Structure 1
Amino acid sequence: MIQWYKTWNNLVKNVLLWLVIIGMLASLPLAYARHLTETSANKVEFVFDYRDLLDIADIQTSPKSYVDEHLKQMKAAGIGSMAVYESTLSEFRESRRIEMFNSRDAMAMTQTYGEPNENFTYILYADQATQQQIEPLILKTFSNLNVATKPWSFKNRNGLIIQMSTDEASMKPMDPDPITLKMLKDQGFNIVVRLSNRRPFVTNDMDHLLKSLHDIGVKRIIVDGNEVPGYTEENTEVNLNKMAELLHKNGIGLAAIELLREPQKGFSTLAKQTNYDVVRLHSFTEQDGEKLSEQVTKAEMADRVQGVADRFVLAVKDRNIRMVFLNAKPVKNLDKGKLADPLSAYYQALQGPDGAIPRIQKVGFTLGQAEAFTVHTTAWKKVASFFLLIGGVSLIVLAVSFFVPEASLFLFVVGIIGAFGLHVLSANLYAQVLALGTAVCAPSIAIMLAIHSVRSGAAAQWKSGLLYTLWMLLKTSLISLIGVVYVVALLNHITYSIVLQQFRGVSALHLLPIAIAGVYLLFFSENNTYKDKLLRVRQVLTFNITVLWVVAAVVALGAILYYLSRTGNEGQASAVEKLFRSFMENTLGVRPRTKEFLFAHPIFLLGAYLAVRYRNGVYLMFIGVIGQLSIVDTFCHLHTPLHISLIRITYGVVFGALIGIVLIVIWEIVARSWKRWVPQSK
């Protein structure tokens, strides 16, 4: 029995690599299908918040003229769409459609003494034409709320009395202002509507609203608030299905706002039911706009404007953003005694020198109404999925075999059974777990093979240390890319591209390969018995702890914390580094990762070069695991187009190799100078 197991175990060990390669090759069509998907929509839409424009205009001397002037400037700057909200009495007042008063103000105007216990809302329409268009909205809204209304007039102007306090009545949402919609459409703007869940969901009313929006060319809505229209505590699924059906019926899609603290409730369900007619939206907030309203030097403002342009370009090019939403608000500068707003800075950022829009167009995008990706698939998918499972499990078992080769057969069988079972229970969880396993194991195997080449003496047989170093960097990077192919193929659903789902557990990728390769280097890289390995572990655990060891541990801990602070979307970077990143981005078009080309790859090269003559050079090679896991991690940003990630890691390897060669040259100069100097000092 034991001999039978050994025979089959050796067979499995020999075929694991081939199973990995077969799985990788089988998955390439899936990766290509994703590439076709993420290049299927190239229209970028810049949207401005029309309500914010009204807020800024409201404090100007001539509000209407101000609005008209800036609408023209926005159109010229490339802002082709306006975001219109559900109307409120407050917004009607800012638009100069109505004047609004409370009971006390109305009594003062009419010079009458009314009911002292009354606190109603009084409105006057700007003119009869305005009344004809917006009064039906107002009457319907407050009728649905069971709030009584009655006509009112003052000095030949018609109005309405609403039996609700002004503070409360001014917030009640109603359908978007038809006058504003027509005016913006006539001026050539596309309309994006922000809908909330603040009104009761009534199917017929929503159908009528969406049809009217479709008739004026609305192609997409943005959810206003934390819940999508139709989300309720009861009958949520039924209402969301109805909402999705109405959206699909009227040809209207959704926009997903990136980097929200919490997902909007019901959004994923609504997106799924609309066949993922969703585009990603990048929001430039009012707080962001404030930085462009501050009183700073011209040079500082120019830097900030350039930073905004860079931000927009990166969002579109690197994160599949197809809609950029601009917010603004007026700012009072008490020191200067003046009002300010960021609008002129926006125009500069979009169309000024090195502006965002020309750069976006230069890389192949066009301005227009944002469109959802056309999802491409392949008939090979089911077959590829089978080979992906076999190959993914094989890759993980191959990594474990570096430590316990005798367990390869057992782990392979258990892994296959477990993977099939997990797929049956939850296909999504299966994909994420197997993707994480392959993402961790590929760079770990790459570095462990590099370490093995030194420990086994293969490195010392190379006549040229430089050729060995370049070959090892190329070979190691290609092995790491195997994990990339598995991650891309396993997480090939459109929900990852538009970030309705995220790859969970990626943070483990930043540490696990380092730990795995480190354990292998310290305890398993030598060709010795398990008894010798246990003895080595015991020696390490029983080392005498000195002050130097404590200092080294503190330094190592600090290095790890700093390394972790640099990873992920919230990674920290200094102002100087941000300028350097901006320079690299603007010069190359795609910025390579700093930790790859400035640190990990060059150190790996230097270590490999030294390892040809000095076995301890392997410890420098080990640091290269950071660069290898970074290669895989780059592709784990699933909202980044594949070709962008591929260019990024290629730059990283090429520039890392060049800097590594410079380090080798410096080492040779120092080493030879030292040899010449030492004899003279005796």
Structure 2
Amino acid sequence: MKLKVMLVAVIILSVIVSIYVDVARIGVENKYDTVEIVADLYNFENLSANTGNDISNILKEMKANGLKGVAVPEVSLKRLRDTGKISLNTMSDVQNIYTLIGKTDNEAVTQYLRNITDRQKEIQCNFLIVTTRDRDTFDFLKNSLSRRVPQDKLTILEKNKDYAFIINEPMDTFSDQGLGFDVKDLNMVKALGFDVIPRVENFNGIKDRDIENYIKLLKNYDTKTVIFGGNDVLGNMEKISYAASQFKKNGITVGIIDTPMGKKLQSGIEKFTKFDGYRGLKVYGLSEKETQKYDINDIVDRWYRSIIERNVRIIYMRAKVDDLKTPAYNMKQNITAMKQLNTLVDYAGLKTGIAKPMGVIHQSKIIEVLIAVGVVAGGILLLLSFGLKEVPALILTIATTVLTAAVLLTRFNDLGIKTVALAASIIFPSLGIVYFVNSSNGLINNKEQKGFISVSLKIFIKAVLISFVGGLMIAAIMADSKYMLKLDYFRGVKLSFTIPVLIFAIYYCYKVFKIDNFKKFINTSVKILNMDIKIWHMLAAAAAALICIIYISRTGNSPLIKPSSIELKFRDFLEHYLVARPRTKEFLFGYPALILAVYAAIKKSKGWNFILGIFASIGILSAPNTMSHVESVLTMAIERTVYGWIFGAIIGVIAVVIIERLVRFANNLLKRGALL
């Protein structure tokens, strides 16, 4: 008994520390409150072409309706080709023309082909040939390509006013690679009064002076935020620390592109932000294909959900252009999208403007250890519930505490944090479930018929609060910029969803069905195996299997079964009116099942108490899972949890009242039938 008191005291200390950290985290999140809509400059040229209006006029109109920033990508060979500044071909295509008519439309290339052997032509057939007659374009490419392409892979040709480059690189990848910025684009965006957000791209062989030139250009345009283009960050891999130090020195923030859980981030982004002190802000945008696929309401819903659920603060906007609609319609729908988002941002209590980076937050290792010992204490309490004796429990407590502290205080700290968070997501819901089972067992064995509303609400509140303790600990021990910016994240979602439910089944058999030793387990198993299987047994088993498959497949970072369109619309409805939308499985299934399970216990029905208890377990474990999404705003996670409790309890009580009345009505009918 003394050990239990000590363990509870340790948990209380850990909860106090967790609340202290969570309050500090909320303070950081509250200052990260400005949402910025940023347009992709080159993508918006599609809208310019569709409307026949100059791109600068398009941007002015967008600015008047809420556009704050413009992202300017680096120029690529494909971009230069599409704008008519260069011709881009493979050597084989040019050779075919040369073979057919004895020359090409570029004197420099013609002269080059005359001077190489057939063997050289064969070797170079897949090389790229870039031709131009524009001196400025030639100078730009000469400077850019000389820094990005090794000397043995680049040939520069010039004859009269014909210029050409022969490049030993693949067309499908190199033609999209950034080659530097067109200063005319940057000047235009700056002159229009926008927040200029360059999309800087890394390249092989980048040197310190190249990074310094980028920094000089960024400072010249008063750049506050950079969103890296391409697949990796500036300086990756050899020069990443130098690039990050220059960003930090000059106060330039990195935009971290939001990706689905488990999907690959831009290569090097976690390391870059680590060198930069984990300064950054989240960026979300639909691809061009997705933008054309979804209607405006769907697009805005996805933007809004990324803001309130994943702490995104830059919405990267691509223009939606429908060639079957009028130019006026296309202009209007893009303006409408911005206006709708601005309204929703204001409704969510946030501001629109130039986005600021999230404040840096880290926890000391001592704080992490204090939180972790509370999780250890919870785990020992859980084992004591299954009959572990005090002496081995004490030894296990000391050993586990020492091991956990050792892991957290060493270079394995990151692994330790994730392990403690996962343990908290399993242990405290399981403790809530154990309390629920113990209470149900007491009601089943109590001869008195107690009022279900007060009893069920009391058990409901205590069970969910015990589980909620685990959520507070997860939110605190993972209250770090790395997790809040989703550069790393909570692992083991499926385990946290399934193990507590399994613990419920095992503990229910142990506590209620009194299967407390191996012999009883074998005897019960034999009885079950010897049962006469009826059709309804098979149907019930099939239904249970289907529910389990759906439940497991809908959990985790990449659910196999996606929500239906009706469910998505229902979610959107709740998000628009509550902002912090409670989880469907909580307030429609899990929490009402908890109330109904208590009602079944009051009515002495072990069978229904057990069946409903399975669904009740899903509700009890949900709060820590919600708070394990550390990239979400903590106040939002708490609000949605409380909403789930309130709605779930109300639905559960209403369901019990209806069932109680239906039972009474059925009993009255039976009595009348007996009298007749």
Whole-angstrom distance in 1 between the partners of 2:378 and 2:109? 85
- Whether the 8 Å contact between 2:51 and 2:328 is mirrored in structure 1 is no
Mean alpha-carbon deviation: is it higher for 47-56 or for 221-230? Answer: 47-56
Q: Specify whether residues 345 and 473 from structure 1 end up closer, same or farther in structure 2 by C-alpha distance, changes over 3 A only.
A: same
Q: Does residue 636 in structure 1 map to residue 628 in structure 2?
A: yes
CA offsets per residue over residues 203-228 of structure 1, 9 Å max, x none?
11220221111221212222222222
Whole-angstrom distance in 1 between the partners of 2:177 and 2:544? 58
CA offsets per residue over residues 414-459 of structure 1, 9 Å max, x none?
3223212322351111111112112111111112111112213486
Could you tell me which residue of structure 2 aligns to residue 320 of structure 1?
Answer: 311
Q: Specify whether residues 34 and 182 from structure 1 end up closer, same or farther in structure 2 by C-alpha distance, changes over 3 A only.
A: same
Could you tell me which residue of structure 2 aligns to residue 123 of structure 1?
Answer: 132
Q: Specify whether residues 230 and 70 from structure 1 end up closer, same or farther in structure 2 by C-alpha distance, changes over 3 A only.
A: same
Whole-angstrom distance in 2 between the partners of 1:567 and 1:340? 43
Could you tell me which residue of structure 2 aligns to residue 567 of structure 1?
Answer: 555
Mean alpha-carbon deviation: is it higher for 318-327 or for 49-58? Answer: 49-58
Equivalent residue in structure 1 for 2:415, among 419, 429, 435: 429
Mean alpha-carbon deviation: is it higher for 579-588 or for 503-512? Answer: 579-588
**Residue 546 of structure 1: CA displacement?**
2.1
- Whether the 8 Å contact between 2:308 and 2:579 is mirrored in structure 1 is no
Whole-angstrom distance in 1 between the partners of 2:653 and 2:322? 53
CA offsets per residue over residues 557-586 of structure 1, 9 Å max, x none?
111011123323544211111111111221
Aligned residue identity for 1:658: I
Aligned residue identity for 2:241: N
CA offsets per residue over residues 92-119 of structure 1, 9 Å max, x none?
45456x3547776997779999448269
Q: Does residue 440 in structure 1 map to residue 426 in structure 2?
A: yes
- Whether the 8 Å contact between 1:524 and 1:533 is mirrored in structure 2 is no
Could you tell me which residue of structure 2 aligns to residue 7 of structure 1?
Answer: none
Which stretches in structure 1 are left out of the alignment for 5+ residues? 1-9, 126-130, 293-303
Could you tell me which residue of structure 1 aligns to residue 265 of structure 2?
Answer: 263
Q: Specify whether residues 412 and 250 from structure 1 end up closer, same or farther in structure 2 by C-alpha distance, changes over 3 A only.
A: same
**SS of the residue 2:227 aligns to:** strand
Q: Specify whether residues 501 and 537 from structure 1 end up closer, same or farther in structure 2 by C-alpha distance, changes over 3 A only.
A: farther
Mean alpha-carbon deviation: is it higher for 623-632 or for 101-110? Answer: 101-110
Could you tell me which residue of structure 2 aligns to residue 663 of structure 1?
Answer: 655
Mean alpha-carbon deviation: is it higher for 390-399 or for 70-79? Answer: 70-79
Equivalent residue in structure 1 for 2:487, among 500, 511, 516: 500
Whole-angstrom distance in 1 between the partners of 2:108 and 2:70? 43
Whole-angstrom distance in 2 between the partners of 1:387 and 1:124? 69
Whole-angstrom distance in 1 between the partners of 2:527 and 2:11? 35
Could you tell me which residue of structure 2 aligns to residue 54 of structure 1?
Answer: 45
CA offsets per residue over residues 176-224 of structure 1, 9 Å max, x none?
1111100111011222121222342111122022111122121222222
Q: Does residue 284 in structure 1 map to residue 277 in structure 2?
A: no
**SS of the residue 1:259 aligns to:** coil
**SS of the residue 2:621 aligns to:** helix
Whole-angstrom distance in 2 between the partners of 1:528 and 1:172? 66
- Whether the 8 Å contact between 1:451 and 1:618 is mirrored in structure 2 is no
Could you tell me which residue of structure 1 aligns to residue 382 of structure 2?
Answer: 399
Whole-angstrom distance in 2 between the partners of 1:288 and 1:342? 16
Q: Specify whether residues 459 and 240 from structure 1 end up closer, same or farther in structure 2 by C-alpha distance, changes over 3 A only.
A: farther
Whole-angstrom distance in 2 between the partners of 1:575 and 1:172? 38
Could you tell me which residue of structure 2 aligns to residue 3 of structure 1?
Answer: none
Q: Specify whether residues 86 and 267 from structure 1 end up closer, same or farther in structure 2 by C-alpha distance, changes over 3 A only.
A: same
**SS of the residue 2:651 aligns to:** helix
Equivalent residue runs for 1:195-594 within 5 Å:
195-232=200-237, 236=238, 239-259=239-259, 261-292=263-294, 304-328=295-319, 344-351=332-339, 355-376=340-361, 381=364, 384-406=367-389, 407-423=392-408, 424=410, 426-457=412-443, 461=448, 463-525=450-512, 530=517, 533-534=520-521, 538-539=525-526, 542-544=529-531, 546-548=533-535, 549-571=537-559, 572-594=562-584
- Whether the 8 Å contact between 2:371 and 2:473 is mirrored in structure 1 is yes
Whole-angstrom distance in 2 between the partners of 1:122 and 1:393? 68
Could you tell me which residue of structure 2 aligns to residue 32 of structure 1?
Answer: 23
Whole-angstrom distance in 2 between the partners of 1:82 and 1:515? 52
Could you tell me which residue of structure 2 aligns to residue 84 of structure 1?
Answer: 72
Could you tell me which residue of structure 1 aligns to residue 194 of structure 2?
Answer: 189
Whole-angstrom distance in 1 between the partners of 2:630 and 2:177? 40
Q: Specify whether residues 109 and 436 from structure 1 end up closer, same or farther in structure 2 by C-alpha distance, changes over 3 A only.
A: closer
Q: Does residue 137 in structure 1 map to residue 140 in structure 2?
A: yes
**Residue 174 of structure 1: CA displacement?**
2.5
Whole-angstrom distance in 2 between the partners of 1:121 and 1:364? 52
Whole-angstrom distance in 1 between the partners of 2:78 and 2:329? 21
- Whether the 8 Å contact between 1:173 and 1:199 is mirrored in structure 2 is no
Identity %: 24
Q: Specify whether residues 395 and 114 from structure 1 end up closer, same or farther in structure 2 by C-alpha distance, changes over 3 A only.
A: closer
- Whether the 8 Å contact between 2:421 and 2:478 is mirrored in structure 1 is yes
Tell me how large the CA RMSD over aligned residues is.
Answer: 3.2
Aligned residue identity for 2:297: Q
Whole-angstrom distance in 1 between the partners of 2:168 and 2:527? 76
